[in-house]
Structure 1
Amino acid sequence: MKLATINDGTRDGQLAVVSRDLKTAHLADGIAPTMQAALDDWSFIAPQLNELSQQLNGGRARRSFDFDPAACMAPLPRAYQWADGSAYVNHVELVRKARGAEMPESFWEDPLMYQGGSDDFIGPTGDIVLAHEEWGIDFEAEVAVVTGDVAMGSTADEAHQQIRLVMLVNDVSLRNLIPPELAKGFGFLQSKPASSFSPVAVTPDELGDAWKGGKVHLPLRSTWNGKLVGHPHAGVDMVFNFPQLIAHLCKTRNARAGSIVGSGTVSNKDASRGYSCIAEKRCLEMIADGVASTPFMLFGDTIKIEMLDGAGKSIFGAIEQKVVQAEAKRSR
């Protein structure tokens, strides 16, 4: 089934079931008020949501309405936890190679992961509001999963059983703030503003054969200012699958229902498939020419992130955003 959160003016929005073709939706107010409420009691709530989904897809839902991604908040407008991995080690290797640094062999065996801010996510069509272009504004196209309760010390197989939903992410990065921040030795903070998510989150079974081995086996498309710049395959070159990433997160602590775990920038060794973030393109330029020529995003730039099924139909709906200067937005 496909789920979304409709913006009703409240902090957490209203849970809705969305049709498979993303054309209609139905509020789940008689079942669960919010996405988090559904996740908190998933074994009881999910079958009821699934029944509503079947009615909606069969044309039998009595209070359906046209689905509008612009009316959506992030599927989880705020979450108890947002932990982003770096499962596509090719991306990490390129970044280090571009600056002449060796990559530790342990990176192929032990995932990289950081914990981002989860109290304020952006909806799928919300503006990326920032104060300065000089910060080095970059998009990062990723896949993420939402978990149920995962106990500390869970194995990857155990973690796999707790994957509830799959969705897309734009993990915005401010590249020129990252080096001085990491040099402090305490990780990302100001260089990682609010992330945005696809209009719809789907249960893994909705992906059919594309969900196997704890990975999504489909290309992820990034369109920057109307130009397709990347369509790397999310199931290729993913060194750590989602169950492994969740198990890594839970080595020393529990992850509670509603935790979001990201894949990191989707990246393939085959450079002909393009890129899911500008930094990777710049790294390839540095390696080839000694200088990065592709600029980061500017105010007014747009980014669209989407994943299509084998028939060319959108699965999650699209993240479609514009970069807007903070002062200009406040003055309207």
Structure 2
Amino acid sequence: MRLVTFRDPHGSTRVGRLDGDTEDDVRVVELSAPTMLDYLRGDGHAPAGRDHALADVFLLAPIAAPPSVRDFFAYEGHVATGWRLRGGEIPEAWYEAPVFYFSNPASIHGPSEPVKRPLHCQWLDFELEIAAVIGEDGEIAGFTLFNDWSARDIQRREMTVGLGPAKGKDFATSIGPWLVTPDELTLEDGRLQLEATVTVNGEELTRSAAGAMHWSWPQIVAQAARETQLKPGDVLGSGTLTRGCLLELNAELPERGAARWLQPGDTVTIAAPGLGALTAPIV
């Protein structure tokens, strides 16, 4: 099942599910849950008696204000490149347990919502990720695309303090366009079996296999829940897929001066089969 938060033709925000197999016949069936958080708590699963053509509604972030956002670091290829650029190797602790940082629940952006390049940032980057969203039982209720935008120049300086990412990260996180229940996707050994892509201004820059993660989704959920309580609507990011950001792609260039970063006017789309496409213009 694909679950959405949307604005109906009258401007009201609703929760719904998508019915139909092709884009032309997809209907958005309204559900009685007031918000997606209510739905994830187990309330309002019944249809409300109204439905709409997908083209007649505007999709919003599936969860506008999650209780928490944890972003993990599960792809060894991405982690290795980052450490190599800093002149080091992956720490032993990374192989002992999944590591995460807390992101900003107040900066969630939805499909097609513009992302503002932060003041004084020249090295704006996308990050291709997949996120799991927790349901009422503390397990994964659905998966969604997740773009963890990064101001790399700001991040590089503040990370010298050793505390973790701060203003280089918390200005925007895009999620959507919908939540997909696990039964709609293929998982092997707790890893999604799909290929995700990133295009900028219609040009495909990279594609990556989601199943190549070192840490599986059950391991990520277990680590997030250890000695605390996960709440319905908590978001767990996978971490950037291997070669899923400009930082990594730029590292492959023979000349450092040829590095590419996002500029106002660019449009970034991350996409994956089943999970849809998540687009954002840079302003």
- TM-score normalised by length of structure 2: 0.90
> Partner of 1:75: helix, strand, or coil?
coil
State whether structure 2 residue 259 is matched by structure 1 residue 256.
no
Question: Which runs of structure 2 are paired with 1:23-172 in the superposition (5 Å)?
Answer: 23-28=26-31, 31-41=32-42, 45-46=44-45, 48=46, 63-68=50-55, 71-132=58-119, 134-149=121-136, 162-172=139-149
CA 1:222–1:263: 2 relative to 1, 3 Å: same
Residues of 1 paired with 2:225 and 2:184: CA distance? 26
State how many pairs are aligned. 277
Structure-2 residue corresponding to 1:59? none
Structure-2 residue corresponding to 1:231? 207
Residues of 1 paired with 2:226 and 2:261: CA distance? 36
Identity %: 29
Structure-2 residue corresponding to 1:246? 221
Any runs of at least 4 consecutive aligned residues in structure 1 with deviations exceeding 6 A, and if so which? Answer: none
Structure 2 residue aligned with 1:178, among 155, 158, 161? Answer: 155
Structure-2 residue corresponding to 1:55? none
Amino acid at match of 1:37: D
Structure-2 residue corresponding to 1:296? 261
Residues of 1 paired with 2:223 and 2:177: CA distance? 28
Residues of 1 paired with 2:141 and 2:257: CA distance? 40
Residues of 2 paired with 1:69 and 1:239: CA distance? 41
Residues of 1 paired with 2:222 and 2:257: CA distance? 37
The alpha carbon displacement at 1:211 in A equals: 2.3
Alignment deviations for residues 53-78 of structure 1 (CA, whole Å, 9 cap, x no partner): xxxxxxxxx73211149711110011
Structure 1 residue aligned with 2:175, among 188, 197, 202? Answer: 197
CA 1:283–1:26: 2 relative to 1, 3 Å: same
The alpha carbon displacement at 1:266 in A equals: 1.0
Alignment deviations for residues 127-146 of structure 1 (CA, whole Å, 9 cap, x no partner): 11124473411111111110
CA 1:259–1:163: 2 relative to 1, 3 Å: same
> Partner of 1:176: helix, strand, or coil?
helix
State whether structure 2 residue 249 is matched by structure 1 residue 284.
no
Larger proportion of helix = 1
The alpha carbon displacement at 1:80 in A equals: 0.1
> Partner of 1:249: helix, strand, or coil?
helix
Amino acid at match of 1:39: L
Structure-2 residue corresponding to 1:56? none
Amino acid at match of 2:248: E
Indicate conservation of the 8 Å contact 2:122/2:261, yes or no: no
> Partner of 1:17: helix, strand, or coil?
strand
Amino acid at match of 1:194: A
> Partner of 1:232: helix, strand, or coil?
strand
Indicate conservation of the 8 Å contact 2:7/2:57, yes or no: no
Amino acid at match of 2:277: A
Structure-1 residue corresponding to 2:16? 16
Structure-2 residue corresponding to 1:206? 184
Structure-2 residue corresponding to 1:220? 196
State whether structure 2 residue 283 is matched by structure 1 residue 318.
no
State whether structure 2 residue 175 is matched by structure 1 residue 188.
no
The alpha carbon displacement at 1:124 in A equals: 0.9
> Partner of 1:248: helix, strand, or coil?
helix
Gaps of 5+ in 2: none
Alignment deviations for residues 179-198 of structure 1 (CA, whole Å, 9 cap, x no partner): 22222232222111220112
Question: Which runs of structure 2 are paired with 1:265-276 in the superposition (5 Å)?
Answer: 265-267=240-242, 275-276=243-244
Residues of 2 paired with 1:120 and 1:294: CA distance? 27
Amino acid at match of 1:264: G
Report which stretch shifted further, 315-324 or 258-267.
315-324
Report which stretch shifted further, 128-137 or 196-205.
128-137
Amino acid at match of 1:180: R
Residues of 2 paired with 1:165 and 1:122: CA distance? 18
The alpha carbon displacement at 1:294 in A equals: 2.3
**Aligned Cα root-mean-square deviation (Å):** 2.2
Residues of 2 paired with 1:4 and 1:233: CA distance? 25
Larger proportion of strand = 2
